[in-house]
Homo-oligomer: A and B are copies of this chain.
């Protein structure tokens, strides 16, 4: 994409009402725009990051058998009433249509997926079954103050699994846990993300959260210094020692929940009488699990964890573009060479943001590049042109390399191979 065609511009100042670093940088760099408290627009750069996050999540969830669907935002009141959540779900946005139908705007979809799968599952032969969606969700939060880390409208991946018995749920739950760590690894969050015990509500001993350490987080977790399991502060009183390795040393950290997995068991199948006929002819309630990841929150968390004083430092696999090609000066020959390189790179399927703006100084262009945070910066100037070179710099390194243009594609393909390889 040519930067001259990108309608967004970087902003010098962070908006005063935004407190989290991630959203300050994301707004200044032109990834998101705030429409109202807790409600954001994703601009071209931000939308590209969301797409990358989405693709990684879909791939990993389909690897563990998830089949993708799309459930509605408008979930009828009657569905919520069947589980009691019309009253008990405090953050449910409620709406009444002209024909007196009432709906809750889905913050989660157990009340839709359980009766949906019930239509197709009657025998043990129809189980297990794994279904997911990536959908806009809504929560009527009273206070929103952390940019895109906690919003009233957000994108979520929610996966639901259906099983004959708890053993089968346990097996799949373990697979999902691994898939989650693959996802966070590919996004550059694995080192700071901890599997965390949290409350399981009335129907399960506990659930698991995936918590990423950051000062912007609203949760507090206690990390076992021996085995690395974390415990959410909310239930820490119940665990004087680590339930996994039985050691006692913990480190307290602020963290943000970027995902959770939950053994729902029969919590949502019972209200719908969702039963199946087992091999022995007996009727049993279907056993259910659910697995959530917030995409827009992930984007914020990545920006929160990966930045320096100059801007964002996107991990390769979620960066809006692979490379940022910067043309310095408007010398005709330099311009032609930059244009040619832009075309060549795109032919090689290298994603390029090409800074072809004629009215910006080199200093402004470099500052914008640092703020936007694309992993590889390629500079063409009169000086490099004379030597048939470009200047290469990685966003997360200081050193600048001169590379002959004829070797550039080789250099990038080895860089990008690492990038596109699956873990």
Contact = CB atoms under 8 A, between A and B. Distances in A.
Interface of A: 1, 5-9, 33, 35-37, 39-44, 46-47, 50, 65, 67-76, 79, 93-95, 97-99, 101, 103, 105, 112, 116-117, 119-121, 125-126, 129, 131, 136, 138, 140, 142, 152-153, 359
Given A39-B72, A95-B93, A97-B140, A67 B116 contact: no
A125 to B, nearest CB: 8
A72 B40 contact: yes
Contacts of A39: 72, 74, 76
- Prevailing SS type, chain A contact patch: mixed
B7 A131 contact: yes
Contact of A35 (B94, B112, B359): B112
A95 B97 contact: no
Contacts of A142: 98-99
B74 A7 contact: no
A50 B74 contact: no
A96 to B, nearest CB: 9
A7 B117 contact: yes
Given A7-B120, A99-B142, A42 B70 contact: yes
Contacts of A138: 73-74
A71 B76 CA distance: 24
A120 B41 CA distance: 14
A37 B72 CA distance: 12
A124 B119 CA distance: 57
Contact of A47 (B69, B95, B120, B125): B69
Given A39-B74, A74-B152, A68 B93 contact: no
Contacts of A153: 72-74
A35 B105 CA distance: 13
B42 A5 contact: no
Contacts of A359: 125
25 contacts: A1-B67, A7-B126, A8-B120, A33-B116, A33-B119, A35-B75, A36-B72, A36-B76, A36-B101, A39-B74, A41-B70, A41-B112, A42-B69, A42-B70, A44-B67, A44-B69, A44-B131, A46-B69, A47-B70, A73-B153, A74-B152, A93-B97, A94-B95, A99-B142, A136-B136
Contacts of A33: 116, 119
